[in-house]
Amino acid sequence: MKRKMTGKYWRICVLIVSALAFYFSALTGCAPNHQNVSQTMPSADLKQDEIARLNEQLLASARMNTDPSDYLLGSGDLLQVKVFEAEDLNTTVRVSSRGLVTLPLLGAVSVKDLSAREAEEKIENLYRARYIKDPHVNIFVEEHFSRRITLMGQFRNPGTYDYLAKQRLLDVMALGGGLSEKAGRVVQVRRYGGSTEGQNVFIVDMDQLVKEGRSDLNIEINSGDVLFVPEAGTFFVDGAVRRPGSYYIQHKTTVHEAFLEAGGLAPYADKSQATLIRYSEQGTREIIKLDLSDPKTLELEVKDRDVLITEASVYGKLVHGVGINIGLPGFGGVGYKNPEN
């Protein structure tokens, strides 16, 4: 009697398992595809890749080595001035606090903010005008009182650096090792004393400079300039996505790209039940309902502090959460695990 009951029990279990397997396979086959957002674009960490590529281009475009003749002269520098055609005119002189040097026959000559090469040409022209037909002047900087520039914000190596020679924006950014992963795409160059207000601020778009090749934006940097790279804006993705969390806006980002950053939609996501929460500068909050099956919705631009939330489909959670447990006789059955956990 016991053997017959056991055999009957197993036949019933097999029938139940077969029926449930057929039912759920049919449900899954009929279920709508909720993974389109994650499959229609390449699954890559776009932000880190873009920063890496931008830094490669930046470093490749920068001039890492400077010519000693490009050294900028400033107060306190000790110069050896040599005139090849007249040894009596050779002298060693220190630049005064006003940027002047006193030379034989010429008297006080301003070399402030000139490179060594420019100062040589200026002195040659002065000697040529009154004393020597075709002079050749050489300046050697024996002691250099370093000028400095400051890199602030999202550089890999922010700090204060010696500024010995004339350099352009990309050259100076290379001193800081390029941009950090949190960097935005704008560089501010703050220059003091360059206007009647006492300060100039130049804003440079790095995408235009590096990616589009706008060489006119590779501006010349002066001693004392401060370069600041702000942190990129952020947005937050939550709900039925694979990697909920906070992400940086380092270039124009669409809703589609935002979900891609978060790994794409989870299999149980409801594409018709997404929400965008947007905060204004005045502190007000706007709640916008999104239909992710609409291509126009996917092209909406994400703003700083936006929150994107996708809802989980009850039907999708059921399909992806129900499973069949097969164990010892008397312990098998149908189980459910919430796929959101």
**Can you name the residues that pair with 139 across neighbouring β-strands?**
81
Determine the CATH number of domain 32-40+233-335. Answer: 3.10.560.10
Q: Which helix (H) or strand (E) holds 61?
A: helix 46-61
Q: Are 57 and 211 in contact (CB under 8 A)?
A: yes
Q: Give the whole-angstrom CA distance, residue 24 versus residue 26.
A: 5
Which residue ranges of the chain lie beneath pLDDT 50?
1-5, 14-15, 17, 19-46, 195-196, 315-324, 326, 328, 331, 333-336
Which one-letter DSSP state was computed for residue 230? P
Q: pLDDT, tens digit, for every residue of 268-280?
A: 888 888 999 998 7
Write the single-letter amino acid at 305. Answer: R
Classify strands 233-239 and 91-94 as parallel, antiparallel or unpaired: unpaired
Query: Quick one: DSSP state of residue 219?
Result: P
What tens digit of pLDDT does each residue of 253-309 get? 899 999 998 899 888 888 888 999 998 777 788 999 999 889 999 999 998 889 999
pLDDT at 299: 92
Please tell me the pTM assigned to this model. 0.57
Task: Answer positive or negative: Cα dihedral of 23, 24, 28, 29.
Answer: negative
Identify whether the C-beta of residue 162 lies closer than 8 Å to the C-beta of residue 148.
yes
> Residue with structure tokens 């999202």?
154
Rounded to an integer, what distance in angstroms lies between the CA atom of residue 124 and that of residue 117? 11
The CATH code of domain 62-67+147-229 reads 3.10.560.10
Name which CATH class applies to 73-143. Answer: alpha beta
